[in-house]
Structure 1
Amino acid sequence: MSTKDSPDKTRPAPAEQTPDPGKAPAKSSADEIDAFVAQVRSMPANSAQRGRLIFAMDATMSRQPTWDMALQLQGEMFEAVAQIGGLDVQLMYFRGFDECRASKWVSDAHGLTRLMTSVACRGGFTQIRKVLKHARSEAEANEVSALVFVGDSMEEDIDALANTAGELGMLKVPAFMFQEGDKPNAATAFREIARLTGGAYCRFDAGAADSLRALLQAVAVYAAGGRRALEDLSRSGAGPGRLLLEQLKS
C-alpha cells in the first residue's frame, strides 16, 4: 500500500455536537432505507466494460466498538460481488496521525477480505477530503464506477469537502456515504457529499446490520454491472440482499 496526499491545510472544523445523553440514538428508519434504494434505482447503468469501486473506511478509534461487525459486513459485500464478477475494488482507509493508505486494484474478493481484516483502528482525526481527492485522481486516470465510504465522524472543513465532492461529481463518480451512529456534523457533511456527487446517503447502527449488508451488496453489484446485474442477481435468489435487489428492479 502507498500513502496518499499530504495533510490538508484548512481552517479548524466546528466541534462535534454532543448528543443529548438522555436521548436514545436514532436508528435507521424504513423511510431512510427506501429513500436510499430509490436513489440507487434511478441511477444510470455503469458504462464501463469492467466496474471499478473504491471502498474507503474510517479506521479511527471511535469506530472500534463496532469494527468487527463492520468488517464482516464489508467482507460479505465482496463475496456477493464475486458471484457475478466484473468488478475491481480498491480498499482505502485512514487512521492515526496522518495515515491514509490505498491498496492496489484487486479483483479477488477473498484477497480483499483478508486485506481488510488486517486493518486495526487507531486514534486520529478524519481525513475524508483525502479520500475524495484520491477518488478524483483515480477517476481522472480511468473511469471509476462508484465510491463507498463508511464512517462515523467528520472533523474537517465542510466547505473544502463540498468543493472536492463537486469536482468528483463532475467526473460522474457517485459517492455512497454510510454513517455509523448519528453525529450531526457527519450527517450534514455526508449528505452534502452524496448530493454533490449524485450518490446516496444512509445511516446505520449495530441494530441495522441486515439493512447495511443488503445496501452494501446492492451498491457493489450496481458498480459491477449496473441495474441489469441487479436484476439478474435478484432472479437467481443469491445472497442476503435478495429482497432489496427485488426492490431495485425497474
Structure 2
Amino acid sequence: MPGEPIKPRSGDAVSAQAGRAVPQASTSAAEDIAAFVAKAHALSPHAPGAKGRLIFALDATMSRQPTWDMACALQADMFRETAALGSLDIRLVYYRGFNECRATGWISDSTRLAALMSKIDCRGGDTQIGKVLTEARREAVASSVRAVVFVGDAMEEKIDELCAKAGELGMLNVPVFVFQEGHDAVAERAFREIARLTGGAWCRFDPGAAAQLRELLRAAAAYAAGGREALLKLSKTASGAARLIGQMK
C-alpha cells in the first residue's frame, strides 16, 4: 500500500473509540517556548537556492472519491507550473478508514506520484487532520517544508487542538493552503482558522470543479517552488494565485 503509516507521536494518547491520536495537554516552560521560536527563525524554508518542498495532504475518506480522482489527474500541473521556477519535491499524506494515515517519501517526478495515487482507494472514516498537521510540523523541522496543501470537505476533531498545531506551523513559517470542497460550515470555520494561524489561505472550490482546483494547486506549487515572489508573479495572470496572495500575511 502506498505510503508509510503515520504513528502517534510521543505524548499522544490513542483513543480506540475515536480511532485517532488525541494529543494530551501539556505546558511549556518559558525557555522551551523561546528555544522553539529561535529554532523557527533559524529554519526558514525560503533560503535562496533551496529546493521547494510541498506536503500535499488529502482527505481520502469515502466522500472524497470524486476529488481524489480529480487530484490524481491534476497533480502533474503542480510540477509543470514549477518547471521554470526550480525543482519541487512533494510528500503525499492521506488519511482514510479507521485510524489509517499514511505518508509517502519525497517525490520529484509527477509520473511516480500519479502512479502512487492511482493505487489508493477512498474508504469511510473520520477526519484525521491533526495527524496531517503533526506530520507537517515534523517534516518542517526535519527538511524545511515550504508549504502544505490540504484538500478536504469535513472536520470532525477538536478545533482548539488543530489550532494549536497550526500555530506551531505558523511559527515555523510554513503556510497551509486549505482548499475546501463544498459548504460545510463547521469545516469552513476550522479551515479558515488553520489558514490564518499559519499565514496561508483558505479557498473554496465547487464539487467536481477541476478547473478551480487546478488553479489553486498550481498557485500553491508556485509558492512552494519560488516563494512569495513567484506567487505574486503568477497572480497577475492566474485567478487562483490572486486568491491565495490576497489572504497571506
Question: Scaled by the length of structure 2, what TM-score is found?
Answer: 0.76
Check whether the contact 2:45–2:144 (CA below 8 A) recurs between aligned residues.
Answer: no
Q: Is the 8 A contact 1:175 1:194 kept in 2?
A: yes
CA shift, 1:76, in A, is 2.7
Partner secondary structure for residue 21 of structure 2: coil
Query: 1:218, CA displacement in angstroms?
Result: 1.1
Q: CA deviation at 1:89?
A: 0.8
**Residue type of the partner of 1:8?**
A
Runs of 4+ in 1 over 4 A off after TM superposition: 230-235, 245-248
Which residue of the partner structure matches residue 175 of structure 2?
174
Query: AA paired with 1:139?
Result: A
1:158 matched residue in structure 2: 159
RMSD: 2.6
Q: Compared with structure 1, are the counterparts of its residues 149 and 120 closer, same or farther at alpha carbon in structure 2 (3 Å cutoff)? A: same
Give the conservation status (yes or no) of the 8 Å contact 2:79–2:88: no
Whichever structure has more strand as a proportion of its residues is 2
Give the conservation status (yes or no) of the 8 Å contact 2:212–2:240: no
Of structures 1 and 2, the one scoring higher in RCO (CA 8 A, sep 6+) is 1
- Distance change >3 Å, CA 211–CA 171, structure 1 → 2: same
Q: Distance in 1 between matches of 2:51 and 2:192?
A: 28
Distance in 1 separating the partners of 2:124 and 2:186:
19
Quick check: 1:51–1:225 contact (8 Å CA) kept in 2?
Answer: yes
Q: Could you say what secondary structure the match of 2:63 adopts?
A: helix
Partner of 1:134: 135
1:60–1:66: structure 2 CA closer, same or farther, 3 Å change rule?
same
Distance apart, 1:226 and its partner CA: 1.9
Q: 1:2 is matched by which residue type in structure 2?
A: E
Task: Write the deviation string for residues 22-81 of structure 1: whole angstroms up to 9, x where unpaired.
Answer: xxxxxxxxxxxxxxxxxxxxxx99335111100000000011244322332234333433
Query: Which position in structure 2 is the counterpart of 1:97?
Result: 98
1:47 corresponds to: 47
Letter in 2 for 1:125: D
**1:83: how far off?**
5.4
Change over 3 Å in CA distance of 1:152–1:145 after alignment to 2: same
- Which residues of structure 2 form unaligned runs of 5+? 9-19, 25-43
Deviation (angstroms), 1:207? 5.7
| 8 Å CA contact 1:82, 1:108 repeated in 2 | no
Q: TM-score, normalised by structure 1?
A: 0.75
TM-aligned CA distance change 1:179 to 1:233, over 3 Å: closer
Consecutive unaligned residues of structure 1, counting only runs of 5 or more, are 12-43, 236-241
- Count how many residue pairs are aligned between Structure 1 and Structure 2: 210
Cα distance in 2, alignment partners of residues 201 and 148 from structure 1: 10
Q: For the residues of structure 2 that align with 1:187 and 1:3, how far apart are their CA atoms?
A: 27
> After the TM superposition, which of the residue ranges 195-204 and 76-85 deviates more from structure 2?
76-85
CA distance in 2, matches of 1:112, 1:234: 26
Which moved further from structure 2: 132-141 or 105-114? 105-114
Counterpart-to-counterpart distance in 2, 1:52 and 1:222: 10
Q: Percent identical across equivalent pairs?
A: 57
Q: Which stretch shifts more, 137-146 or 123-132?
A: 137-146
2:21 aligned with 1:8, yes or no? yes
1:117 pairs with 2:118: yes
